[in-house]
Amino acid sequence: MAFVPAIETEEAPGNRPVAPHAVNSLPGTRNPLPEPLHIIALALQSTDAAKQQFPDYRLTRLISARLELDDADIAQLAIVFGSSLLRPVRGMARPFDYHLRYVIGHYGLETLFRDDGHAPYHHAIRPTGYDFHRDDVIPTGMEQWRADYRSMSNERQMMAASIIWLYRAGKDNVWLRRVPCTWHAADAIACMRRTSALEDWVRLFALYPGW
Answer yes or no: are the C-beta atoms of 157 and 180 closer than 8 Å: yes
DSSP line for 34-81? PHHHHHHHHHHH-HHHHHHHSTT-BHHHHHHGGGG--HHHHHHHHHHH
pLDDT reported for residue 167:
93
pLDDT tens for the chain, residues 1 to 211: 444 444 333 333 333 333 333 344 344 445 578 999 999 999 999 999 999 999 999 999 999 999 999 999 998 998 888 767 766 555 556 788 889 999 999 999 999 999 886 665 676 899 999 999 899 999 999 999 999 999 999 999 999 999 999 999 999 999 999 999 999 999 999 999 999 999 999 999 999 987 7
Per DSSP, 87 falls in state P
Q: The whole model's pTM is what?
A: 0.83
